[in-house]
Structure 1
């Protein structure tokens, strides 16, 4: 963190010895000092964010800052950097979220007692350092492997009160049908995009402003349509093919159709195998009658499934237009853990409402839902399994326990690395700040 002093925050806290001193060095780690103002500022930030501090903040926070400095020093050795555009995008999203929550920029400034540029600068540093530290940790733990026998031994050694409770989960199959969209609606969308492109190409309008005003990609519109640096594999193929072939940042691409809708794209910068672009997304509107036609067709399909004419999975393979599930018998996959099991809150809201009172084997009536491309589609779902809540066990929850063990191993590696780093690093903790039960060993031993 920066060593700047936030006086309004500083004078608002009970403090350790020396509270009448405006600022002072409280720790030294290597050749870097940790100031009392650093601790007070982080304490204020954590309170603002409602963070829970486990222990005395004047012990926990300086140790946390010291640990960050050790990781950041290692990042310099390993020449680890992060993309500024990615950090900037994350900060903009966070600030926009706060503005939406509090109601205005002025209320955000009043809440944090800082100007918006100062808040943004602080968040940039925090998020940049967090991303760098994450990369260092990934490098240190990249070789973690596990065997079934190790997982079993780990589980057997867990105290009973450490065995997690697994909430009720469900397994679901789905069939979706996209409603027909009139040709005129598609033509209207394309005409709007051509108009935007012409205005930018003539110099009559700014692409970023148009994206903020009109783009239906909510995640990027507030950043002027900017996506940040991305590799070809992270973009859908149709979009990537156009984005990577752009060469003039002053010109706008042709209209690109993808599963998300219709786009125009503007190049910002190419860097090696990555590209940063802006885009404007428009999605054709679906009429109520088109949605009714789609659900009527699905209701007919449901009757045949319930009547035994064919199985749900077979129908999904032939009829469903959900590309993520149609080749998997319609089985929905949880993106959090790549399993077929969902807690109810992890399902799309419309799906969760339908299956809440269904029994395994039931097939829902047709309904309208918004899919992960933010499009309205017709759908039917089958509840294939409902797993009651229970204490985790190896037979039902092996993947969960495996993840717990891998996390345990990674934490062991990081703890051992940190304690060795502490041992090899000059550390001084000032009187009055050293009487703590620190998380990591070696801080006080090396103090002068």
Structure 2
């Protein structure tokens, strides 16, 4: 019998990408669950699931406008059980993720959220908290997600989808069920960020040092932050950042902050955002709260023009064939995320380089929509993630119009779905095997959930 299929699957998503975790992947404002007396609902190996875990996930699910029914909490519980089974095995097998991986994923999420909502200030207003507090709140959840993904990858690392597997899978789909694929394009960019002159750097540092001297002489740090800091999201709070732990800030900022004594003012430090001075407000166990003043050196028109001129020269060389776009991106682009990938922008949801119009920056889409394939644009103005002026040249490397899925144009998508199916089959077998040799206990709170009986009837009993 021919099957139906959805090709719009996240590259990393399969039946074991936990719904309970996905609830938090969209932007939903913090909501308060009703107060409940917390209790342990389940034990899976060395891991536990609390009543509050389910309530928190349920609140996030409803906050995103999803339909609630009698089975919603059952589904959340089922997915949490699966998560804990994978985490328990990760612990047994010594599967780990590094702090740098956690930091990288947190930064990627924040960039995605900020891009979706428009600015850091709007994101903070939406969540009713600061970016730093949001990252601290999400940190443990992100770590567990990465551990689960790493465990899944370990289990399925040897699974492949051969060309014959892909063709067999495609031919099993009923023609009427083949989906329409949206318009997509691959866009490469080469970015140049104008350097800041030595004189501008010295001027900014001198101004900040003057503020520091006055504060050291007894003037109020918070007043100076409110008046002069260029971090607008904290300036209105006297530069106060709120409590955060190690791993939340960029390394230079964090090293200076955690070395301060209460009330002490730091020397000037430099980060990718500019120059700062810090004051420690409070230290509480492994967390601290600091104020800071940020001043950002500005680039002048002469430096901006140098970036424009370099990109214009590169554009001409690429069009003449003396250097390829990929080579130019690797040698000259200041964008760390794309320069080693031929300059190709990446879809943050799928991890692929194919972008539909709704996944692109609106201004960039209007700039590239009418471009011919493999032609290079004139230098275009842009703002970096740090809010600084820059220029880029772009090239449309491929473009597909909306169409019904076929092997010629959509082989990669079909291969990914075929691979996911094989991975899911292996994971299903793995889960059943592990359930039979893992201690699993559920209390009777969710006895009415049919889907949970597969858990209550399995596992080692004590």
Query: Is TM > 0.5 for Structure 1 vs Structure 2?
Result: yes
Does the Cα contact within 8 Å between 1:367 and 1:379 map onto a contact in 2? yes
Deviates more, 1:292-301 or 1:345-354: 292-301
Q: Distance in 2 between matches of 1:344 and 1:163?
A: 21
Shift in Å at residue 66 of structure 1? 3.9
Query: In the alignment, does 2:113 pair up with 1:100?
Result: no
Deviates more, 1:322-331 or 1:362-371: 322-331
- Give 3-state SS (helix, strand or coil) of 1:171's partner: strand
Query: What is aligned with 2:153?
Result: 141
Q: Which structure has the bigger radius of gyration?
A: 1
- Give 3-state SS (helix, strand or coil) of 1:160's partner: coil
Does the Cα contact within 8 Å between 2:377 and 2:393 map onto a contact in 1? yes
Q: Distance in 2 between matches of 1:318 and 1:435?
A: 54
Listed as ranges, the matches of 1:23-422 within 5 Å are 29=43, 42-51=57-66, 56-71=71-86, 74=89, 100-101=125-126, 124=137, 128=140, 131-132=143-144, 134-139=146-151, 141-142=153-154, 144-146=156-158, 150=162, 152-154=164-166, 156-157=168-169, 159-160=172-173, 166-179=181-194, 181=196, 183-195=198-210, 214=229, 216=231, 223=241, 228-229=246-247, 248-250=259-261, 252=266, 255-256=269-270, 260=272, 262-264=274-276, 282-287=295-300, 291=304, 295=308, 308=320, 313=325, 316=328, 320-322=332-334, 324=336, 331-334=343-346, 336=348, 341-390=354-403, 396-397=409-410, 399-401=412-414, 403-405=416-418, 407-408=420-421, 410-422=423-435
CA distance 1:411–1:190, change in 2 (3 Å): farther
CA distance 1:385–1:149, change in 2 (3 Å): closer
Shift in Å at residue 57 of structure 1? 2.2
CA distance 1:435–1:343, change in 2 (3 Å): closer
Note the alpha carbon deviations across 1:278-328, whole angstroms, 9 max, x for none. Answer: 98764322456764675477567767876x596674994799553659977
Query: In the alignment, does 2:456 pair up with 1:443?
Result: yes
Does the Cα contact within 8 Å between 2:204 and 2:295 map onto a contact in 1? yes
CA RMSD, 1 decimal: 6.0
Query: TM-score when scaled to structure 1?
Result: 0.59
Q: Distance in 2 between matches of 1:433 and 1:63?
A: 12
Q: Distance in 2 between matches of 1:130 and 1:363?
A: 38
Does the Cα contact within 8 Å between 2:190 and 2:343 map onto a contact in 1? no
Q: Distance in 2 between matches of 1:374 and 1:422?
A: 50
Query: In the alignment, does 2:447 pair up with 1:433?
Result: yes
Note the alpha carbon deviations across 1:128-147, whole angstroms, 9 max, x for none. Answer: 35633641552353253357
Does the Cα contact within 8 Å between 1:360 and 1:385 map onto a contact in 2? yes
CA distance 1:387–1:200, change in 2 (3 Å): farther
Aligned length: 395
Shift in Å at residue 446 of structure 1? 7.8
CA distance 1:333–1:246, change in 2 (3 Å): same
Does the Cα contact within 8 Å between 2:159 and 2:419 map onto a contact in 1? no
CA distance 1:62–1:148, change in 2 (3 Å): closer
Shift in Å at residue 379 of structure 1? 3.1
- Give 3-state SS (helix, strand or coil) of 2:390's partner: strand
Query: What is aligned with 1:111?
Result: none
Unaligned 5+ segments in structure 2 are 1-19, 21-30, 114-119, 281-287
Deviates more, 1:242-251 or 1:378-387: 242-251
Query: What is aligned with 1:113?
Result: none
Shift in Å at residue 376 of structure 1? 1.2
- Give 3-state SS (helix, strand or coil) of 1:441's partner: helix
Does the Cα contact within 8 Å between 2:377 and 2:395 map onto a contact in 1? yes
Shift in Å at residue 100 of structure 1? 0.4
Unaligned 5+ segments in structure 1 are 11-21, 109-118, 269-275
Shift in Å at residue 44 of structure 1? 3.8
Shift in Å at residue 357 of structure 1? 1.5
CA distance 1:445–1:83, change in 2 (3 Å): closer
Q: Distance in 2 between matches of 1:133 and 1:213?
A: 40
Note the alpha carbon deviations across 1:95-129, whole angstroms, 9 max, x for none. Answer: 98775027x67xx9xxxxxxxxxx99xx95x8635
